Amino acid sequence: MTKTVIESLQENDVKAISRLMSAVENDSQTDETLIEELYSHSLNSIRIGITGPPGAGKSTLIDKLIELFRKNEKTVGVVSVDPTSPFSGGALLGDRIRMNQHALDTGVYLRSMGSRGMTGGLARKSHLMGDILSCTGKEIIIFETIGVGQAETEIIKNADITVVVLVPEAGDEVQFMKAGPIEVGDLFVVNKSDRDGAGRAAELLSDYLKDSVESREFTPEIILTTASSGEGVADVYKKSLNLILQLQKSGTLEKRREKQYLNRVRGAVRDELVQRFWNSQPELDFDSEILLQFANGQSPYSAARYLINSLKLNHD
Ligand SMILES: Nc1nc2c(ncn2[C@@H]2O[C@H](COP(=O)(O)OP(=O)(O)OP(=O)(O)O)[C@@H](O)[C@H]2O)c(=O)[nH]1
Ligand SMILES: [Mg+2]
């Protein structure tokens, strides 16, 4: 008897994993029953978001964290969302090289996904990648993103805890603001502390965190690391696990997961409506000449409303 896709995933069949991941990435995965089944097998993993500006050392840190997870016999999946923009090209290859030492370890699965040209679907796809890895039995799923933009924030919001990685040069408020979703950080890392200014950056960050965010459940800790040599990484490991335990005990994790669920529902409604909208108007696309006819005196909002009001959503 041939195995179902879910069975192959559960057996950690690497070919089945990468095939399904590619189908998800290329939008050729349309089997809703499979997606449904996948979800029900994806509820046992801990999801950790690791975010921070390009080049801060996220992948290097993750590589060292994987070592610690493996020493403690935990399996790990990583979904890296690479900007692959003209400004930071090569990240994908970089990640592969930096985490290469785990390539032959069947308890580790690494997947990079380019974010270029992908808007609405990016968060959904990353979540599905996480579900696939979870279905293969990975106990820890790490999402790596540069944390900028709506889709990336949506990915991070779906993690159980979020670690924000900064560098010593990020030592002022403006830099913190630029560093991505600081407000979702549960744990902060000042990496590259082999360089000058790490202690100072940590102090400034500590002040900034105390002053700027009142709605936090707790004051996040700040850890200095040199990911390239591994210094401080054990502390990141320990504190992340402690934090997860703490959140579990206090019931906060359960609440966060409810929020994650709602976020995914909200994202899915938006994505599907947008897709149905454009599918229902095959003669239109964003660059359409037809749309530009509205530009002749009508506001973009009234043009949008006109289009939406004339909409026939397909009910398939
Ligand atoms: N000096 C120093 N360099 C580091 C440290 N950690 C990482 N690096 C170097 O910084 C560069 C970027 O590291 P990555 O781990 O790729 O950073 P990243 O945040 O994953 O980068 P993107 O995924 O491209 O955003 C690499 O050349 C690393 O070797 C550190 O603690 N100290
Ligand atoms: Mg990276």
**Per-residue pLDDT tens digits for 170-179:** 766 666 666 6
Q: Residue 51's beta-bridge partner residues?
A: 145, 164
- HSE on the CB side for 106, CA within 13 Å? 9
> Is 129 in contact with 166 (CB distance < 8 Å)?
no
**Where do we find the tokens 């940590």?**
202
Which helix (H) or strand (E) segment is 214 a member of?
none
Segment 258-276 mean pLDDT: 88
d(CA 177, CA 140): 29
- Considering only residues 197 and 271, tell me which one the structure prediction assigns the higher pLDDT: 197
Q: Which ligand 1 atom is nearest residue 82's CA?
A: 23
Span between the terminal Cα atoms of the chain, in Å = 32
Considering the domain 5-164+233-266 in this protein, what is its CATH number?
3.40.50
Residue 240: pLDDT above 90?
yes
Q: Which ligand 1 atom is nearest residue 229's CA?
A: 31
Distance 148 CA to ligand 1 centre (A): 18
> Is 82 in contact with 113 (CB distance < 8 Å)?
yes
Which 3 state secondary structure label does DSSP give 189? strand
What tokens appear for 87 in the block?
């400004």
Q: Check pocket membership of 60 for ligand 1, CB cut-off 6 A.
A: yes
**Sign of the CA dihedral with 269 first, then 186, 54, and 46 last:** negative
Helices (H), 157-295: 173-178, 198-212, 233-250, 252-280, 289-294
- Considering only residues 225 and 183, tell me which one the structure prediction assigns the higher pLDDT: 225
Residue 42: pLDDT above 70?
yes
Q: Ligand 1: which residue has its CA nearest to atom 14?
A: 57
> Is 63 in contact with 229 (CB distance < 8 Å)?
no
Q: Which ligand 1 atom is nearest residue 227's CA?
A: 31
Segment 51-69 mean pLDDT: 93
Which ligand is the nearest neighbour of the Cα of 191?
1
Segment 283-306 mean pLDDT: 78
> Is 261 in contact with 93 (CB distance < 8 Å)?
no
Q: Check pocket membership of 134 for ligand 1, CB cut-off 6 A.
A: no
Residue range(s) in the chain whose domain bears CATH number 3.40.50? 5-164+233-266
